[in-house]
């Protein structure tokens, strides 16, 4: 079974998305995919892929940089929002939409060795934490919740929601609301 049919299940015509987004999905689903398989899934030749990225490491780093930029943009969209449910929902929606790219970052420890990339991610994470702290100050999140736990819960919810959307278990428009409800109320019955 080819990478394209087993992973993406889409025709080449349906792949009018940025190359690095397609590469993130391919390498998430099949980390050992060859550059030829990646190029095929992206609907380009291996030669074209090599013109842009001389080595696999160059390609992986480029995907990591794109994923980090997407995370930065998601956080920046709500950076000035007060600690509101609407601001949290907007953050979750932006992060869920970019789920494959974020999952690529979270699941590729080789990217941790890239100091520039790591610093940019840490800076974006601090801005994300600032949004969560405003929500905590507004009483939406329990005051006793540690910073690291808030970040882990958001990342876990984003990962699960994006994965569920990708596999058709959850409608894309329902994902942010379900993630927000779970973040703020857990799985218990609302009073």
pLDDT of 188 reads 81
Architecture of the domain made up of 65-185: Orthogonal Bundle (1.10)
By the 10 Å C-beta count (0-12 exposed, 13-18 middle, 19+ buried), 6 is classed as exposed
| Calpha distance 5→162 (Å, rounded) | 20
176 closest CA partner among 186, 168, 165, 191: 165
- The class (CATH top level) of 1-52 is mainly alpha
pTM given for the model = 0.81
Q: Where are the domains of the chain?
A: 1-52, 65-185
Q: Write the DSSP symbol of residue 7.
A: I
Residue 103 CA to its chain's centroid (Å): 5
Listed in sequence order, the residues at least 6 apart from 69 whose beta carbon sits closer than 8 Å to its beta carbon are none
The two domains 1-52 and 65-185 share their CATH topology (first three levels equal): no
- 16 close to 44: Cβ distance less than 8 angstroms: no
Listed in sequence order, the residues at least 6 apart from 53 whose beta carbon sits closer than 8 Å to its beta carbon are 59, 62
191 residues of the chain, pLDDT tens digit each:
444 444 444 434 344 778 898 898 898 888 888 888 999 988 899 999 989 898 888 999 999 999 999 999 988 888 777 778 998 999 999 999 888 889 888 888 888 899 999 999 999 999 999 999 999 999 999 999 999 999 999 999 999 999 999 899 999 999 999 999 999 999 887 66
pLDDT of 108 reads 86
Listed in sequence order, the residues at least 6 apart from 190 whose beta carbon sits closer than 8 Å to its beta carbon are none
């Amino acid at each position: 079974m080819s990478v394209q049919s087993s992973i993406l299940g889409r025709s080449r015509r349906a792949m009018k998305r940025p190359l690095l987004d397609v590469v993130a999905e391919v390498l998430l689903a099949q980390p050992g995919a060859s550059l030829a398989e990646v190029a095929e899934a992206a609907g380009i030749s291996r030669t074209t892929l090599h013109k842009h990225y001389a080595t696999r490491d160059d390609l992986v780093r480029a995907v990591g940089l794109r994923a980090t930029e997407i995370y930065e943009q998601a956080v920046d969209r709500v950076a000035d929002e007060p600690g509101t449910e609407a601001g949290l929902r907007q953050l979750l929606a932006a992060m869920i939409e970019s789920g494959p790219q974020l999952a690529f970052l979270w699941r590729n420890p080789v990217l941790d060795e890239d100091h520039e990339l790591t610093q940019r991610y840490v800076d974006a994470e601090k801005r994300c934490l600032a949004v969560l702290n405003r929500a905590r100050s507004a009483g939406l999140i329990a005051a006793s919740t540690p910073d690291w736990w808030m970040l882990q819960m958001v990342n876990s919810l984003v990962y699960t929601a994006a994965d569920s959307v990708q596999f058709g278990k959850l409608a894309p428009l329902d994902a942010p609301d379900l993630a927000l409800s779970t973040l703020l109320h857990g799985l218990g019955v609302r009073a």
